[in-house]
Amino acid sequence: MKYQWILFDADETLFHFDAYQGLKLMFSRFDIDFSRDDFHHYQTVNKPLWDDYQDGKKTAHQVQNIRFQGWAEKLDVSTQTLNSEFLNAMADICSLLPGARELIQALEGRVNMGIITNGFTELQSIRLERTGLKDTFYPLIISEQVGTAKPDVAIFEHAFELMDNPVKEQVLMVGDNPHSDILGGLNAGIDTCWLNRHNQNKPEGIDPHYQVASLTELQQLLTQDLTRG
């Protein structure tokens, strides 16, 4: 069998991450009707922060606080309070992507499965607990804890150490973000699979080893490999 390890991204690879619905739920708890226009304005602040985070120009703490500064002033609460409430709301609406549970069940006991995510610690453990997957993935690598984010090779090297330095040809990285998941995996010297659910154009210079449109298609690809092995 070719792969002994499958490393997954979390958000929009295994789990839905609907930030708008999460923010809408969170702000409803402050009696605020959060609109699409509010979300658009939030994203004009949040998205550049995430880009800087992935490039190592901002810390997780800075992202968590700067993105909520305006709302914190309006509501007279701390930015950290809003960030925690947002992550709690995201946990409350968490769900697996179509095909995720079936994929995990097909692979469990046959390969090692881990997660490398640029998400925040506060959300990950709750979400894995609520979906019944808390004992499924090892290692669980969270950029906030490691201090570096994908696509930085350092976060992959940290994972490899916890995996007892496996043969890289036996490791596959699966993710929906070509700039963090796929480029990061390529830079780390492992095979990659781009989960391209929305039929995006492949970014220039980023060439995944595989490309699938769904987790069901990924399951077929991987189980064929298992059968051949």
What is the rounded distance in angstroms from the CA atom of residue 120 to the CA atom of residue 104? Answer: 22
Show the tokens assigned to 84: 């925690």
Residues 6+ apart with CB under 8 A from 164: none
Q: Report d(CA 119, CA 143) in Å as an integer.
A: 7
Distance between CA atoms of 112 and 200, rounded to whole angstroms? Answer: 29
Three-state DSSP class for residue 42: helix
Radius of gyration of the chain (CA): 18
Active site residue 9: yes
User: Which of the following is catalytic: 9, 11, 176, 181?
Assistant: 9
Residue 200, exposed/middle/buried by CB under 10 A (0-12, 13-18, 19+)?
exposed
Most distant CA pair in the chain: distance in Å?
60
Name the one residue in this structure whose structure tokens are 């930085």.
152
Structure tokens at 174: 């699966």
**Total count of residues recorded for the chain:** 229
Catalytic residues: 9
